[in-house]
């Protein structure tokens, strides 16, 4: 059958060794490439990273530099230092209060039941840090600084005479100074001055009860703010 075919077709159908070798190389390359693709696409085990709970991070690692560690305070380790302050004036429950160290005036007012309605707290710095043993008086007028030595007049003269850091002197205060006290208007201030003139001064703060217009409640507000 092959002999009957034309010569050109016989030449085409003849298998030569060189062609067989080339075909073998191509087949080997195809098998190698297929094996490499299969190996690369095989399933692989994935290791899941451990989950760190928020509470597992040490506090010392997250706290900023210089910040105190929880449980350690300025007063010692494991115990909170406390201060004692006296809260008076126009608060609901005046008296001595024990507060944690570092408390502010606002904390002292809250411990005393808060400020009474209508009280002017313009001159009160609520953000100031308290110190042990101090007194916080709500509603007290700002006391003028004592006069400088060697300036203006002798003893008993000038608008600041008889005044210093502390309660207002009933024996030397003017009507304007008395008018600055909480709950004391110009009329009541004049009554206090008239009473002082008629009696020759105040021998005690208790005598303030006898002034016309001063009841028990108003006296309770004034007793810590004035002196004889």
Average pLDDT along the chain, 228 residues, taken 10 residues at a time: 61 61 80 78 66 52 49 46 90 91 93 89 86 84 44 40 63 87 87 88 87 87 86
The answer to whether the CB of 227 falls within 8 A of the CB of 166 is yes
pLDDT confidence of residue 137: 86
The answer to whether the CB of 137 falls within 8 A of the CB of 89 is yes
Calpha distance 51→70 (Å, rounded): 25
Determine if the pTM surpasses 0.75. Answer: no
Rg (CA), the chain: 48
The pair of three-digit structure tokens given for residue 120, joined into one six-digit string: 């002017």
Q: How would you classify residue 203: left for phi > 0, otherwise alpha for psi between -120 and 50, otherwise beta? A: alpha
Calpha distance 54→64 (Å, rounded): 17
pLDDT confidence of residue 30: 84
Strands 168-169 and 226-227: parallel
Q: Phi/psi at 111 (nearest 5 deg)?
A: -70, -25
List beta partners, residue 89: 138
């Amino acid at each position: 059958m092959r002999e009957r075919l034309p010569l050109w077709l016989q030449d085409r159908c003849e298998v030569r060794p060189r062609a067989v070798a080339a075909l073998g190389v191509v087949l080997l390359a195809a098998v190698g490439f297929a094996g490499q693709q299969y190996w690369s696409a095989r399933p692989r085990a994935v290791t899941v990273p451990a989950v760190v709970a928020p509470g597992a991070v040490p506090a010392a690692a997250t706290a900023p530099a210089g910040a105190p560690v929880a449980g350690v305070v300025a007063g010692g380790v494991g115990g909170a230092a406390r201060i004692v302050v006296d809260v008076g004036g126009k608060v609901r429950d005046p008296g001595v209060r024990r507060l944690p160290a570092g408390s502010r005036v606002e904390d002292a007012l809250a411990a005393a039941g808060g400020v009474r309605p209508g009280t002017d707290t313009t001159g009160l710095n609520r953000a100031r840090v308290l110190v042990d043993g101090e007194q916080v008086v709500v509603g007290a007028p700002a006391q003028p600084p004592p006069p400088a030595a060697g300036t203006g007049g002798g003893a008993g003269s000038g608008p600041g005479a008889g005044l210093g850091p502390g309660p207002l002197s009933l024996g030397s205060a003017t009507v304007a100074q008395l008018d600055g006290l909480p709950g004391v208007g110009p009329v009541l201030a004049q009554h206090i001055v008239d009473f002082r003139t008629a009696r020759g001064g105040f021998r005690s703060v208790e005598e303030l009860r006898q002034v016309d217009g001063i009841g028990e409640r108003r006296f309770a507000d004034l007793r810590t703010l004035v002196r004889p």
